[in-house]
Amino acid sequence: MFEGQPQAEVEALMKASPEFRQLYYRHQELDKQVLDAELGVLPLDDVTLGQMKREKLAAKERLLRMYENRH
């Protein structure tokens, strides 16, 4: 998600902000689950998958806002 950003900045924010760190790991978890569901490895109904995708997007948007407002 932060591929274009300096990894040191992301790591510093993860150390400084428990909220950012928790949200970052939640986003990663959701990303893996959504991918597994789309590949058929994780059996989920469409409603649950849609909810997970929305939660993942909300987490990403919040993380990006937190990253942009870090100073």
Task: Tell me the domain boundaries of the chain.
Answer: 7-68
Alpha carbon distance 64, 30 (integer Å): 16
pLDDT band at 2 (very low <50, low <70, confident <90, very high): confident
In the prediction, which pLDDT does 36 show? Answer: 97
Q: What tokens appear for 37 in the block?
A: 């569901």
Q: Quick: pLDDT tens for 8-35.
A: 999 999 999 999 999 999 999 999 999 9
